[in-house]
Amino acid sequence: MPVTPDTIKVEGGRNLRRTMKRAGVDLGQLKDAHAAAGSIVVAASRTSGPVRSGALVGSLRASKAVASATVRAGGARVPYANVIHWGWPGHNIAADPWISQAAQATEPEWSAAYLAAVDRVLATIKGV
């Protein structure tokens, strides 16, 4: 995954997953940590997003992946989500990075939740 200005990279995340796998830890537990962090951003984005019909904020969702937490908006019924968020200068559409702003504003909350979840997983490993 390319690192963009709106990507937060966990240093040592790959090594953490590899070590946990070797220790026999169910990596699915990290999915829950990522989903919890993403859900915090989704909740904040729902209250700060642009609303005309409500379809855009209604399309927000957090992924549940082993390697990352991702917040997505849009889809087949809301194909304009990326244009609203990132803008389209060629068509004079200014960016409204409301999801990125919500992620930045809630960083203390979701990073604490994520670290607490990782600590709980690490506590299950003998010798830690």
For residue 82, the one-letter residue type is N
Q: What is the pTM of this model?
A: 0.77
Q: What is the pLDDT of residues 39-69, one digit of tens each?
A: 999 999 999 888 888 899 999 999 888 878 8
User: 10 exposed, middle or buried (CB, 10 Å; 0-12, 13-18, 19+)?
Assistant: middle
Q: What is the 3-state secondary structure (H, E, C) of 27-41?
A: CHHHHHHHHHHHHHH
Residue ranges per domain, the chain?
A: 13-119
* Per-residue pLDDT reduced to its tens digit, 77-119: 999 999 999 999 999 999 999 999 999 999 999 999 888 888 8
Within 8 A by CB and 6+ apart from 54, the residues are none
- Side-chain-facing half-sphere of 4: CA atoms under 13 Å: 5
Q: 34 near 63, Cβ under 8 Å? A: yes
